[in-house]
Structure 1
Amino acid sequence: MERQDAEAIYEQGRDVVVAVLMRLDEQVQRLEKRVIQQDERIAVLERQLGRSSRNSSQPPSADPPRVPPRVKGPSGRAPGGQPGHEGKGRSLLEAAAVDEVVDYWPAGCGCGRLFAPGDLVAVGGPARHQVEELPVMAVTVTEHRCHHVICPGCGAQRRGELPAAVAASALGPRLQAAVVTLSVRNRISRRDVVELCEQLFNARVSVGTVDTILARVADALIVPCEDLLDRVRSASAVNMDETGWRLRGGQRAMWGAFTERHAILQITASRHDDHAKELLGGSRAIITSDRWWAYNHLPVRRRQICWSHLQRDFAFQAEGRGIEKQLGEAGLAVCADLFAAWAAFQQTGDRPELQRQIRLLQRRLKPVLREHGGKKVRYRQGRGFSRGLLNLWPALWTFARQPGVTPTNNHAERGLRGAVIYRKLSFGSQSENGEARIARLLSAHTTCRMQGRSLHEYLIQVLHANAHSEPVPLLA
């Protein structure tokens, strides 16, 4: 009996111990899972804290104070021109471009002889020195007088009428074009434009006049901007990017589409894909962009993913730990070799050699992405990044097979840079009409810059044609 009782007590104790151990094991598993989750969260937060323009798409202006400035290391050379450097002097204008010529003759010789007028016979060409200066008053004032006449026949009084081109404004096309150039190209505030016009041109301009001129020119650019949109849509290769905008303080978006010579900018409600589709219309172009989801409606064969963005993404991964660090370092090595191959192609134009180099890089990168995109990889961010690149795999290498396509989207980012600076200085727009107008003005400015032409001279042509009801010149 006692033995049975002892065995029963033993069985009960064993069951209690097993139950306790099972509960402890479950608790340990929960704690281990929580520790893993916390480790992942800490790693993500630490890396988010370390984000900068060097490892993400955020602009350098948003870098925190702890990020050191981009400073090149010392070259070991003295500042300035180096020994053997061929200097570049100021080139002289042709004689036809000179407004005034002043001649200087020597008064005498070192031997003591003073030259008489008959001795002054030029030998060879003169030594030339040109001085460029602004006139005392840059603006000219033309008064248009409409006289009254009494008809000898009926006695009615009649007055002369101003031509429509003259009556349109109290400012001429050149001065109006200068106002727009200062506002859009140089991004000067309305009040500063008024001050500069008074000090530089001795011209009377008000803040309201500046707004009126900007609206007039923007409305005159409707047809040229429609033509720009058609040219971009019909191009074989287009760079696209988007950035933020403000409308009365609210969030908006500015989209930009760029070819080698043309730019079109549009302001929309958001950065969603419906606006990208509307901007592209029926375009069949290859689109170079970042990996923003609004471009995912495009077939991968018609896309080129920006490798500058990928390089920053790989740098972000390389700042992680363990397998993420391995992924980042492997990706950075591929980026370095890819840009070296592209630089060599720019020099030689040997596309078969470029494609051979790219095939080698593909063989190096794809196994790394497959390894880090597998289900067993613990860190989700690196896993998702790798899988995303595998899904976009053909779009990583379009530049190697398609002429006119580059491996980066730097062209679009440079095209939007002026608009971004304008937005920061002006805080965006205050009306929908203002949005449409500044988009047209920025499109014209960016296109002129890409074509190497003067925005001021082009706007003079636009204003002259508009005042005379003539076709406005296009930005072909």
Structure 2
Amino acid sequence: MQSCPICGGAVERQPQGTKRQQVAELVPELVEIWEYERPLYRCPACEWQGYQDLPLGCREGFSYGGRLSSVVGWLGYGGNLSWSKQRYVVESIFGIPMSQGSLAKLHQWFCEALQPAYEHWWSWIQQPGVRCVDETSYRLNGVNHWLWIATAPECCVLFFAPTRSSAEVNALLGGEFAGVLSSDCWSAYGPQSAAAKQKCWAHIERDLKALTISRFPENREFAQRILPIIQTAQQAHRDYHWGQFSLGELQALRPIVEAELAHVLEHPPNGRWTADSQALSNRFRRYCSDWFTFLSQPEVNPDNNDAERGLRPVVIHRNVSGGARSEWGAQLVAMMVSFLESMRRQGENAVDQLFELLAASGCSPPVLLPG
């Protein structure tokens, strides 16, 4: 500072009273372009000839490194930017030109890099444990398909499939799944083998709360009699996890609440519930053994919210993109969202981990050149 901002007179710097402030800012050139010279080597013993390997994260014949590619991958599937916006960020903010063809090659690199981890997670999902499963629609070239999800505490797997049938559930979890299957009441989950099943109470509670304001008194009575049973069971589940209930007390509650629910279903006013209540009553009977698994196995939640939260990024991506234009593009959505959600569950940095996968898949293989 040369002059006083008030009177314009000369100013003197004081020996004390320095004020410090740190500011984070982008530098003018965010991305550096490196050129690698790779000597040609020859083995006199076997006549092999080849060039020195590229550094990790560099791919033979591709002009974009692994770290830049990882950021673009997160922008596309974590930030839900369309392809045109991904190119805009690379060109306008990073200052690097990128064609549509290069972007397509980049996404194909993601497919190749993610495949081994994706297969590992799929194998893990089919092992015994609590698995929340759900599905949502996803279009391929304007034709409706489905993305299925199965979640575990450590990872999740999304599976792109043409139908909403039980065959897709079997493909996702395997024909001999020995864990606990948590789902809604969609019929495709019925034939799936499992050691136990838990139906989602969140869906049922929404239906029951709608009945509390029905104009038919039988509907209101049905909801008013069943909601306290649900609330008692769920509060006991919470009390167990808060250390206020023992496992034995929690498990002993299951036959009690099951009997209370059966009593309500079997004693409708005037011999029969009205249509809306009867539909819910039939659903309770159809899955009579699947409503209170969370009391005998407290590691199970009474709802399927874990799978629904895992599908939320897919729904946002679907709304932004309108779906996929190719089979590999749709499968990449499944693999990338599986990867991002698994990294979140494991507390890992998704960009760093994606770089590691890209680096592992991008190593230059030995090339035999003509002698």
TM-score (norm 2): 0.83
Which of 349, 352, 358 matches 2:248?
352
SS in 1 for 2:144: strand
Specify whether residues 261 and 375 from structure 1 end up closer, same or farther in structure 2 by C-alpha distance, changes over 3 A only. Answer: farther
Q: State the 1:195 CA deviation.
A: 1.4
* Bigger Rg, structure 1 or 2: 1
Hey, what's the Cα distance between the residues in 2 that align with 1:446 and 1:303? 24
Hey, what's the Cα distance between the residues in 2 that align with 1:209 and 1:257? 33
Superposed CA offset, 1:431-452 (max 9, x none): 2222222211111111112212
Partner of 2:346: 451
Contact 2:254 2:296 in 1 (8 A): no
> In the alignment, is residue 386 of structure 1 matched against residue 281 of structure 2?
yes
Which of 133, 137, 140 matches 2:25?
133
SS in 1 for 2:290: helix
| RMSD after superposition | 2.8
Q: State the 1:403 CA deviation.
A: 4.3
Contact 1:355 1:400 in 2 (8 A): yes
SS in 2 for 1:368: helix
Hey, what's the Cα distance between the residues in 2 that align with 1:214 and 1:308? 37
SS in 2 for 1:394: coil
Contact 2:149 2:159 in 1 (8 A): yes
Q: State the 1:351 CA deviation.
A: 2.2
**Counterpart residue type for residue 140 of structure 1:** E
Bigger drift between 192-201 and 258-267 goes to 192-201
Contact 1:194 1:206 in 2 (8 A): yes
Superposed CA offset, 1:28-75 (max 9, x none): xxxxxxxxxxxxxxxxxxxxxxxxxxxxxxxxxxxxxxxxxxxxxxxx
Partner of 1:42: none
> In the alignment, is residue 234 of structure 1 matched against residue 130 of structure 2?
no
Contact 1:419 1:442 in 2 (8 A): yes
> In the alignment, is residue 193 of structure 1 matched against residue 86 of structure 2?
yes
> In the alignment, is residue 208 of structure 1 matched against residue 101 of structure 2?
yes
Superposed CA offset, 1:136-190 (max 9, x none): 3211111235799xxxxxxxxxxx9574545331011100111111001111111
* Superposed counterparts of 1:143-162, under 5 Å: 143-145=35-37, 161=51
Hey, what's the Cα distance between the residues in 1 that align with 2:291 and 2:59? 56
Specify whether residues 331 and 302 from structure 1 end up closer, same or farther in structure 2 by C-alpha distance, changes over 3 A only. Answer: same
Partner of 1:107: 15
> In the alignment, is residue 366 of structure 1 matched against residue 262 of structure 2?
yes
Hey, what's the Cα distance between the residues in 1 that align with 2:141 and 2:228? 45
Specify whether residues 457 and 368 from structure 1 end up closer, same or farther in structure 2 by C-alpha distance, changes over 3 A only. Answer: same
Q: State the 1:129 CA deviation.
A: 6.0
Specify whether residues 387 and 206 from structure 1 end up closer, same or farther in structure 2 by C-alpha distance, changes over 3 A only. Answer: same
**Counterpart residue type for residue 361 of structure 2:** N
**Percent identity between the two aligned chains:** 25
* Superposed counterparts of 1:5-154, under 5 Å: 107-108=15-16, 130-145=22-37
Q: State the 1:335 CA deviation.
A: 2.8
Any stretches of 5+ residues in structure 1 without a counterpart?
A: 1-104, 110-125, 149-159, 471-476
Hey, what's the Cα distance between the residues in 2 that align with 1:300 and 1:143? 55
TM-score (norm 1): 0.65
Q: State the 1:406 CA deviation.
A: 1.1
Greater relative contact order (Cα < 8 A, sep 6+)? 2
Hey, what's the Cα distance between the residues in 2 that align with 1:301 and 1:456? 37
Partner of 1:267: 160
Superposed CA offset, 1:72-92 (max 9, x none): xxxxxxxxxxxxxxxxxxxxx
SS in 1 for 2:267: helix
Hey, what's the Cα distance between the residues in 2 that align with 1:337 and 1:106? 70
* Superposed counterparts of 1:226-375, under 5 Å: 226-281=119-174, 282-298=176-192, 302-320=196-214, 321-348=216-243, 350-372=246-268
Which of 323, 330, 333 matches 1:428?
323
Any stretches of 5+ residues in structure 2 without a counterpart?
A: 1-12, 41-49, 366-371
Specify whether residues 137 and 274 from structure 1 end up closer, same or farther in structure 2 by C-alpha distance, changes over 3 A only. Answer: same
Q: State the 1:401 CA deviation.
A: 1.3
Contact 1:370 1:387 in 2 (8 A): no
Q: State the 1:298 CA deviation.
A: 3.6
Hey, what's the Cα distance between the residues in 2 that align with 1:429 and 1:300? 33
Contact 1:235 1:259 in 2 (8 A): no
Q: State the 1:278 CA deviation.
A: 1.4
Specify whether residues 243 and 375 from structure 1 end up closer, same or farther in structure 2 by C-alpha distance, changes over 3 A only. Answer: farther
Superposed CA offset, 1:98-125 (max 9, x none): xxxxxxx97159xxxxxxxxxxxxxxxx
Superposed CA offset, 1:204-228 (max 9, x none): 2233322221111112211111110
Q: How many residues matched?
A: 339
Q: State the 1:237 CA deviation.
A: 1.3
Hey, what's the Cα distance between the residues in 2 that align with 1:298 and 1:456? 36
**Counterpart residue type for residue 295 of structure 1:** Y
Hey, what's the Cα distance between the residues in 1 that align with 2:167 and 2:95? 49
Contact 2:39 2:52 in 1 (8 A): no
Q: State the 1:292 CA deviation.
A: 0.6
Superposed CA offset, 1:297-331 (max 9, x none): 14686100111111112123333312122112222
Q: State the 1:353 CA deviation.
A: 3.2
Partner of 1:377: 272
Contact 2:211 2:220 in 1 (8 A): yes
Which of 349, 357, 362 matches 1:462?
357
